[in-house]
Amino acid sequence: MSIPNILTLIRILLTPLLVWLLLNEKLTAALAVFFFAGITDGLDGFIARVFHQKTRLGAYLDPLADKILLVSSFVLLGHMNLLPSSLVVAAVSRDLLILTGVMTLTFFQVPLEIRPSALSKLTTLAQIVTVLVTLSHPLMAWASWLRKSLYVLTGLLTVASGLHYTILGFRIWERSRPMGTNGSP
């Protein structure tokens, strides 16, 4: 197994620990775990690119690891009233939409290359920063306007990315259908 895939698996395995810490309101420890998970996310991509260790497994595992970590964080931080419910709903809905689209295309055997868009990468970065700022708030007094601005930016990017992937999914679907068909299997 490649080093990037091992780092991705570590990130997946850190998620239950993060969930346990959040459920027990140990925000400082949760911040440390989330920060470490974020480092593994950056490292796996860097190593895969620089050392030509990109794998098909990694193309699926890496975004899945991100989604597991971020959705868990958003749901629990929302439950703890540390994130706005609207932002939690937007983030979870986007990831469910993407997952449903990928599963649908896969079910109908539509060729699909898993590759995050620039907008998706920016959205993931904004979501990671949002979780980091939220978890670090007890340690650092972030201005209310700064947190709210970050939440609005993250929400807008999340919705834009969800719409982008929806449009992209429909385009892939349409290209996969032979000319003259109504799109039914």
CATH number of 168's domain: 1.20.120.1760
Does residue 30 sit within a domain?
Answer: yes
Does residue 95 sit within a domain?
Answer: yes
Does residue 183 sit within a domain?
Answer: no
Residues 38, 132 contacting (CB under 8 angstroms): yes
Does residue 120 sit within a domain?
Answer: yes
Write out the chain's pLDDT in tens, 185 residues.
Answer: 899 999 999 999 999 999 999 999 999 999 999 999 999 999 998 999 999 999 989 988 998 999 999 999 999 999 999 999 999 999 999 999 999 999 999 999 999 888 889 999 999 999 999 999 999 998 998 999 999 999 999 999 999 999 999 999 999 999 998 765 555 55
Does residue 55 sit within a domain?
Answer: yes
Does residue 23 sit within a domain?
Answer: yes
Domain with 16, as residue range(s), is 3-176
Does residue 86 sit within a domain?
Answer: yes
- Would you state the pLDDT for residue 35? 96
Max distance between CA atoms of the chain, in angstroms, equals: 61
How far are the Cα atoms of 20, 61, 74, 134 from residue 7, in angstroms, in the given order? 21, 10, 22, 24
Residues 68, 15 contacting (CB under 8 angstroms): yes
- Would you state the pLDDT for residue 179? 64
How many structural domains comprise the chain?
1
- Would you state the pLDDT for residue 182? 54
Q: Is 60 helix (H, G, I), strand (E, B) or coil?
A: helix
Does residue 181 sit within a domain?
Answer: no
Closest CA to 124 of 63, 170, 56: 63
